[in-house]
Chains A and B, each alone.
Chain A
Amino acid sequence: MGNNINIALAGNPNSGKTTLFNALTGSRQYVGNWPGVTVEKKEGKTRYNDEEIVVVDLPGTYSLSPYSLEEVIARNYIVEESPNVVVNVVDATNIERNLYLSIQLIELGTPVVIALNMMDMVEKMGINIEVKKLSKMLGVPVVPIVASKKKGIEELLDVVVRLSKGEIEYNPCVVDYGKDLEEKISETIESLKLNPLAKKYNLRWLAIKVIEGDEKVLKTLNIDDEEESFEDDEISLLDDYESIIADKKYQFITEIVSKAVNKPKDEKLTTSDKIDKVLTNKWLGIPIFAGLMYIVFFMTFNIGNIFLDIIDAFFSETVSGWASNALEAVGAAEWLKSLIVDGIIGGVGGVLTFLPNIIILFIFISILEDSGYMARVAFIMDRAMRKIGLNGKAFIPMLMGFGCNVPAIMGTRTLDNEKERIAAILINPFMSCGARLPVYILFASVFFAGHEDTVVFSLYVLGILVAIIVGLIFKKTLFKGEGAPFVMELPPYRIPTLKGIFIHVWERVKGYLVKAGTIIFAASIILWFLLGYNFSGPADITESIGASIGKAIAPIFTPLGFGNWRAALSLVSGLLAKEVVISNMAIIYGLGETVAEAALEGDITGFASTLSNTFNQLTAYAFMVFVLLYTPCVATIGVIKRETNSWKWTLFSIAYQFVVAWVMSMLVFQVGSLLGLGL
């Protein structure tokens, strides 16, 4: 294994880095998180001429500054893990800004190969890049590629392998920072030579970082931050070292670009520009956005629901039937049959039922992301989202929450600020997901006949209001302080590739499937046991441990108006998946499957009489409010754990939502009672 060549892929977001990674590694990839943080880490393998090449995909970054998590991860990986070669993906259509990262990578000292991507686009735009000249001036190999068409990949690997073996001369360019700064750099290098902590690093890079006042580097070297005393209002601030260094880098790049890149004189409006003029238009921007969102929703739920019934039938009839027969044939015990058929197939199947919706939703999200529209959504919605301490990018996950909170929370990955991301995750479950709808429909039809729409709509609005209020509270308490700057690239529109979409969708769906196979699998078994057993063995549901739990916790719900064990137990079981509240109520109230099925299909007569005995209009509404707001289902809890990478936040999320739900529901019942409602 020692002879593996380790390469790291670095590059700006939207430079085609992921496309190159996929082109290099194909299906041989492993996706995880960087240790201790929620930033995704992708690793893969490829072979070239009998050489095994391990490729690590670094987070897409514009720079290697110490301020963002991704940038620190990328630079630490290069500095600490010393890959043999850093492959820097550069978007040739946007070469000037992309080279800024290249210069920083070169400065780090690890051998760099530049993969000059999107050469086809460049040609189309009539731009001519003299690759050899560029390579000569940068002092590093430059390989033109078209990652999306897998062009130039072989050549790239060839250069990487030869460079890692020292078969290519490597004389990287050195940016001249001007006489004053260069003197300071030399001095700093001299003093760094005496610092044992500096030994393993490239001294020039380190010296530049020390002069810039880079906190992370100063800390590593145990140096106190001495300078930094500029006043905020001084315009002459361009003169601080950090600015001079950035300016010099850009001047160096401008020089190179002016020599190696020949642009056509007249800059025409590109197709992308024209599209943008319409999509972000002052008057059309919002209607178009609303229309697109409506289409996404319509497709996700309507097309998805066509499959929903098929999958549901597949699990509840075909698979269950097959399993029952098979288990009977081998003479399995009755309890085992019940465990497998009712517990596992019922539970896991119930969750897989939503798979089509999730796949469709993710296909659309991927299209929106890959086409470049997602950045425009953030642009259009930023002002509204900022009010609750989030930025525009958090809008989409919120909207997705109306479908299912699981993919929605996964969707917060697009937020690059950790604080904002956790805030977005924590308030997401207040967006009423599709699974809660059957509960509202049932209760609204029984208790608010004729006004179902208004009642259900009011719940959705309440969820949004609570999310906004909680968001505001978080902004003032838990996530205080400066929000992340909203400085974001608006990438040119591109036509998404089928392969790219497929990979995106698959990565996300895989996570969902894993969850169905683990957490939900386990939870289904536990719930089955709780509802079917007590301490002396198999028992009727009314005598089960579950019933005991229901009785024990029922008093908690007394101030909310539904302090009976059946309602309490339904809510507990709803933790498994919100939609099972109804089917479990049917079981718990002893009504049997058929009544529940009928209720879901709109025939509520069976339910109506029974529910009317324990609920009235007011308590029914309080109950719906509770279902809307309380602790999310296990699948959501699981995804919160995975995405926050923290038990602390997960437990917090479980607890605070319960409290919010309890308080809101209590207010509905108590205030309503005072007003004499619901009697």
Chain B
Amino acid sequence: MRRSLKDLKPGQSGKIVGIKGKGAIKRRLMDMGVTGGTIVLVEGIAPLGDPIEVKIKNYKLTLRKSEAENIIVE
């Protein structure tokens, strides 16, 4: 099932299928290792509800839900 990274709950993981959008934000995500085929695990959510913390390629990354929304996982 395809959905966005934003919809994953803490503890859930998914395999990245693609990133929507283009330009700086997409490039930045790719540079940080958010590329096709990579497994991403949602570690937690900030106390105020946003951003989220994920584990990818063996390190921790934080990104806003608005950015996570563009990352499609399955």
Indicate whether A485 reaches chain B with its CB closer than 8 angstroms: yes
A sample of 21 cross-chain residue pairs with beta-carbon separation below 8 angstroms, ordered by A number, consists of A62-B32, A65-B27, A65-B31, A94-B59, A96-B57, A235-B2, A236-B18, A238-B36, A242-B26, A246-B27, A280-B47, A280-B53, A282-B47, A285-B47, A382-B51, A485-B25, A485-B29, A486-B62, A487-B29, A487-B67, A490-B60
Name the interface size band of chain A. 35 or more
CB distance A238 to B33 under 8 Å?
no
**Min distance, Cβ A190 to any Cβ of chain B, angstroms:** 27
CB distance A100 to B31 under 8 Å?
yes
Q: Mark A445-489, 1 if CB is under 8 A from B, else 0.
A: 000000000000000000000000000000000000010011111
Within 8 A of A (CB), among B51-74: 51, 53, 57-64, 67, 72
Indicate whether A173 reaches chain B with its CB closer than 8 angstroms: no
CB distance B20 to A234 under 8 Å?
yes
Which residues on B sit within 8 Å (CB–CB) of A319? none
Indicate whether B17 reaches chain A with its CB closer than 8 angstroms: yes
> Among the listed B46, B59, B63, which residue makes an inter-chain contact with A97, where contact means beta carbons less than 8 Å apart?
B59
CB distance B20 to A232 under 8 Å?
yes
Which residues on A sit within 8 Å (CB–CB) of B46? 280, 285, 379-380, 382-383
* Cα(A251)–Cα(B20), bound, Å: 20
CB distance B48 to A380 under 8 Å?
yes
* Cα(A247)–Cα(B46), bound, Å: 29
Indicate whether B45 reaches chain A with its CB closer than 8 angstroms: yes
Further contacts, 14 of them, CB under 8 A, given A243-B26, A243-B30, A486-B62: A62-B32, A63-B27, A67-B23, A96-B57, A100-B33, A235-B20, A243-B19, A246-B30, A280-B47, A285-B46, A375-B62, A379-B53, A382-B51, A383-B51
Indicate whether A514 reaches chain B with its CB closer than 8 angstroms: no
Indicate whether A332 reaches chain B with its CB closer than 8 angstroms: no
> Among the listed B27, B44, B48, B58, which residue makes an inter-chain contact with A67, where contact means beta carbons less than 8 Å apart?
B27
Which residues on B sit within 8 Å (CB–CB) of A281? 47
Which residues on A sit within 8 Å (CB–CB) of B1? none
* Cα(A571)–Cα(B22), bound, Å: 51
CB distance A283 to B17 under 8 Å?
no
* Cα(A507)–Cα(B45), bound, Å: 35
Within 8 A of B (CB), among A239-292: 240, 242-243, 246-247, 250-251, 276-277, 280-283, 285-286
Indicate whether A535 reaches chain B with its CB closer than 8 angstroms: no
* Cα(A230)–Cα(B19), bound, Å: 12
**Min distance, Cβ A118 to any Cβ of chain B, angstroms:** 13
Indicate whether A233 reaches chain B with its CB closer than 8 angstroms: yes
CB distance B27 to A242 under 8 Å?
yes
Which residues on A sit within 8 Å (CB–CB) of B57? 94, 96-97
In the A-B complex, the 8 residue pairs with the smallest Cβ-Cβ separation, listed nearest first, are A63-B31, A383-B48, A285-B47, A490-B60, A67-B24, A238-B18, A246-B30, A485-B25
**Min distance, Cβ B32 to any Cβ of chain A, angstroms:** 6
* Cα(A63)–Cα(B23), bound, Å: 15
CB distance B35 to A235 under 8 Å?
no
Indicate whether B49 reaches chain A with its CB closer than 8 angstroms: yes
Within 8 A of B (CB), among A488-540: 488-492
* Cα(A250)–Cα(B20), bound, Å: 19
Indicate whether B13 reaches chain A with its CB closer than 8 angstroms: no
Q: Chain A interface (Cβ within 8 Å of chain B)?
A: 62-63, 65, 67-68, 94, 96-97, 100, 228, 230, 232-238, 240, 242-243, 246-247, 250-251, 276-277, 280-283, 285-286, 375, 378-384, 386, 392, 482, 485-492
CB distance B35 to A246 under 8 Å?
yes
* Cα(A386)–Cα(B45), bound, Å: 16
Q: Specify the chain B residue showing the minimal Cβ separation from A246.
A: B30
> Among the listed B17, B33, B38, B64, which residue makes an inter-chain contact with A235, where contact means beta carbons less than 8 Å apart?
B17
Given A243-B36, A247-B35, the answer on whether A490 and B61 have CB atoms closer than 8 Å is yes
> Among the listed A232, A243, A247, A280, which residue makes an inter-chain contact with B44, where contact means beta carbons less than 8 Å apart?
A280
Q: Specify the chain B residue showing the minimal Cβ separation from A392.
A: B51
CB distance A96 to B58 under 8 Å?
yes
* Cα(A127)–Cα(B58), bound, Å: 13
Q: Specify the chain B residue showing the minimal Cβ separation from A14.
A: B59
Given A97-B57, A380-B46, the answer on whether A232 and B21 have CB atoms closer than 8 Å is yes
**Min distance, Cβ B37 to any Cβ of chain A, angstroms:** 8
CB distance B22 to A237 under 8 Å?
yes
CB distance B63 to A487 under 8 Å?
yes
Which residues on A sit within 8 Å (CB–CB) of B7? none
Among A251, A285, A487, A489, the one with the most B-chain Cβ atoms within 10 Å of its Cβ is A487
Which residues on A sit within 8 Å (CB–CB) of B61? 487-490
Q: Specify the chain A residue showing the minimal Cβ separation from B47.
A: A285
**Min distance, Cβ A270 to any Cβ of chain B, angstroms:** 11
* Cα(A489)–Cα(B59), bound, Å: 8
Which residues on A sit within 8 Å (CB–CB) of B51? 379, 382-383, 392, 486
**Min distance, Cβ A504 to any Cβ of chain B, angstroms:** 23
> Among the listed A67, A232, A286, which residue makes an inter-chain contact with B47, where contact means beta carbons less than 8 Å apart?
A286
* Cα(A451)–Cα(B21), bound, Å: 56
**Min distance, Cβ A100 to any Cβ of chain B, angstroms:** 7
Which residues on B sit within 8 Å (CB–CB) of A63? 27, 31
Which residues on A sit within 8 Å (CB–CB) of B28? 65, 67-68, 485, 487
* Cα(A392)–Cα(B17), bound, Å: 29
Q: Specify the chain B residue showing the minimal Cβ separation from A284.
A: B47
Given A242-B27, A380-B48, the answer on whether A232 and B59 have CB atoms closer than 8 Å is no
* Cα(A233)–Cα(B22), bound, Å: 10
**Min distance, Cβ B39 to any Cβ of chain A, angstroms:** 11
Which residues on A sit within 8 Å (CB–CB) of B47? 280-283, 285-286, 380
Which residues on A sit within 8 Å (CB–CB) of B36? 238, 243, 247
Which residues on A sit within 8 Å (CB–CB) of B60? 276, 489-492
